[in-house]
Amino acid sequence: MFWDRVAGVYDIFAKIINRKTHKKLCTVVKELISPTDEVLECACGTGLLTGVIAEKCKRLLATDFSLRMLQKAKKKYRKCENIEFRQGNILSIDCPDESFDTVVAANVIHLLDEPYRALAELDRVCKHGGKIIVP
């Protein structure tokens, strides 16, 4: 799988080559998270945004389809007690309806063959009146 192969160098790209965009993304997402939020982050990758979300929310479920990306994220945040990591598919989220106050799917929808199906899943697991963040 492509994402498993690039997991080892992904952070270099995001932090150096894409630094300004990544910094802005972190700032914007951080402003949208509340301290009482239970958050789902789909496609967390190596956890570039995970730490920012975890600092602000009550509980975070961070998921990714790529096991290698997920392993890198787990290693970074192994001491964070409010994060649970789980391998998952954004097209079929293994959570009950209306489970989360906020759902985040950064930099992934445009890569999917079925983006509307993914958006429907995000909507399904987000509580009524909750926030869906798709930067």
21 — pLDDT class (breaks 50, 70, 90): confident
**pLDDT exceeds cutoff 70 at 31:** yes
Q: Identify the pLDDT of residue 6.
A: 58
Domains belonging to the chain, first-starting first, are 2-133 (3.40.50.150)
Average pLDDT in the chain: 92
The type of residue at 85 is: F
Average confidence (pLDDT) over 113-128:
98
Q: Identify the pLDDT of residue 30.
A: 95
Q: Identify the pLDDT of residue 127.
A: 99
Range list of β-strands (E), the chain: 38-41, 59-64, 83-87, 100-104, 126-133
Q: Identify the pLDDT of residue 85.
A: 98
Model pTM above 0.85:
yes
